[in-house]
Amino acid sequence: MLCSASELRYAKEGVKCGVRVDGRARNELRPMVVECDLFPQPNGSARVTVPPSGSDAVAGVKADIVEVDPATPDQGVVEVSVTLGAGAASATSQRDADNQASALTAALQESLCAPGAFDLAGLCIAKGRYAWRIFVDVTVLQLRGNAVGTVSLAAYAALQRARLPKLRVSAVSAADGFEEADEAWDPASGSSTAPASSGAGEQEEAAAVDVEIEVVDDADASVSLADLCSADKAPVCVSYAVVDGVLVVDPLPEEESGAQATVRVSVNRSGAVVAVRTAEADAALGVGAAATTAQSGDGEAGAEAAAARVVTPLAAGMVETALGLARDHAATLFAAVDSGMAAASRRATAMEEADARAVRALAERYGDLPAAAAAVADSVMADASKARTGKARA
C-alpha cells in the first residue's frame, strides 16, 4: 500500500505515543471473525474477516489421491497457494501483483508447513503406492495489513474443519484381472499380509499384486484431517513490525510501510514456537530479500540462531520481545478459530433439526411415513434437544 509522507509520520507518531492509527495499543490484535464450513464443495473451508473494514480472506482445502514420491514412500503432501482478488492487490501492474501473491504463497508455505507441523505419514494410504495430497487454497478478498497472519489463520481454520472420505484398501492380483486377492493389503507396511513363498511362480504372482482403493460412500464415515495427520498441530503466524524501534503486533499498512524490520513467529496450539522469520521490511508484505528464517523443533533455540544471523540488528533485538508476546497472541487467534468452529457445529445441528421437522410435517400433512424415516427424524430432534439442554446447563 502506498502511503504519503504525512500518513507515515502520523502512524509513527501514534506508535511512539502508544496510540495507533486505529486506536489500538502496541501489543493489541485487531478482532478477527472466523467462519467455517461456508462452502459444500471443498473438504473444508473458512473465512477470516477483520471488521469493520480490514482484511478478508477465504480458504478452502481439497484432497486427491496421488502416487507417492519415491523419496518419501510413506508420506503424503501438503501444498498451499495464495491468490489476490481485485480488491486486495496493492501492486500497480499484473506482474507486481503476481509477485505479491507468490511471496505470500512462499510465506504461508514456510509458516504452515514448517518441519513437524504435520504428520505427513498419516496421509499415506498404501506405503510405496498411494497417499493423500492436500491442497490449501487461500484467496485474499481485501487486504488491510498483516497479510501473512490473515491467510495463515484462514488456512489453519479450514484445515481443522476438513474431512476426508473413508477408504477401503485391498490387494488385487493383476493375473486375475484385478480381482481381489486372498491376501489383505497392509497400508502401514506397504505389503500383503500373506506369508512369503519360496516357489518362483508364487513369487512372480506376489510381485503382480497391486492395490485397489475404494471410497466408502458414507458421509458419516468420513475422517477428520486433524485426526489423520495431526493438522491441529499446524501453527498460526503472528506478525510484528518494528516502527522507529518499537514493536507492534498485527501491523496496519501505514505501519508496514514505515517499518524498519518485521518479525514473524509461527506458534502451534500447544504454545511451541515452530518457526521464526526476521526480515527487512517490505512495504506490502513485510517480506524482504535480506531475511533469515529459523525452523526448529525447539523454537527458542532457532529464534536465537535467527537473531544472531539476521542482517538487521534492530530486528534481532526484537526477537526475544516477540517471542514473549507471540504465545498469548496465538492463543487469542486459536480462540477465534474455536469460536468459529463451534458456531459451524451449532449451525449444522440446527439444519439437521430443521430437516427432521420438515420430514415430520410432511408426514402429518400427507399421511403415513416409513418407520425408518420416522425413527431417524425422531433421533435427530432428540439429539438436538439434548445438545441445547447441555449448553443451557453449561
Residues 234 and 369 in one domain: no
Residues 16 and 145 in one domain: yes
Residues 129 and 229 in one domain: yes
The answer to which of 133-142, 211-220, 257-266, 360-369 has the lowest mean pLDDT is 360-369
pLDDT tens readout for residues 302-358 = 544 544 444 455 555 678 888 889 999 999 999 999 999 999 888 888 887 787 777
Average pLDDT value for residue range 46-74: 91
CA dihedral of 132, 272, 158, 392, whole degrees rounded to 10: 130
Residues 78 and 183 in one domain: no
Residues 312 and 175 in one domain: no
**Predicted pLDDT of residue 196:** 39
Q: What are 58's three cell numbers? A: 477465504
Q: Cα–chain-centroid distance for residue 276?
A: 18
Q: How confident is the model at residue 5 (pLDDT cuts 50, 70, 90)?
A: confident
Residue 119 has pLDDT above 60, yes or no: yes
Alpha carbons within 13 A on the beta-carbon side of 174: 8
Residues 15 and 114 in one domain: yes
| Alpha carbon separation from 61 to 37, 81, 188, 195 (Å, rounded) | 11, 11, 25, 40
Instruction: Tell me how far apart the alpha carbons of residues 261 and 276 are, in angstroms, rounded to a whole number.
Output: 13
Q: What are 106's three cell numbers? A: 512462499
Residues 244 and 325 in one domain: yes
Residues 151 and 174 in one domain: no
CA dihedral of 23, 25, 28, 33, whole degrees rounded to 10: -10
Residues 312 and 181 in one domain: no
Burial class (CB in 10 A: 0-12, 13-18, 19+), 67: exposed
pLDDT tens readout for residues 375-394 = 666 666 666 666 555 544 44
Count of domains for the chain: 3
Residues 338 and 356 in one domain: no
pLDDT tens readout for residues 186-206 = 444 444 343 333 344 443 444
**Predicted pLDDT of residue 203:** 39
Residues 189 and 140 in one domain: no
Q: How confident is the model at residue 166 (pLDDT cuts 50, 70, 90)?
A: confident
Residues 133 and 187 in one domain: no
Instruction: Please give the mean pLDDT across all residues of the chain.
Output: 77
Neighbours of 117 (CB within 10 A): 21
Are 352 and 380 in contact by the 8 Å Cβ rule? The answer is yes
pLDDT tens readout for residues 61-117 = 999 999 999 998 989 999 999 999 877 766 556 777 788 889 899 989 888 877 777
Q: Which domain holds residue 186?
A: 167-195+203-215
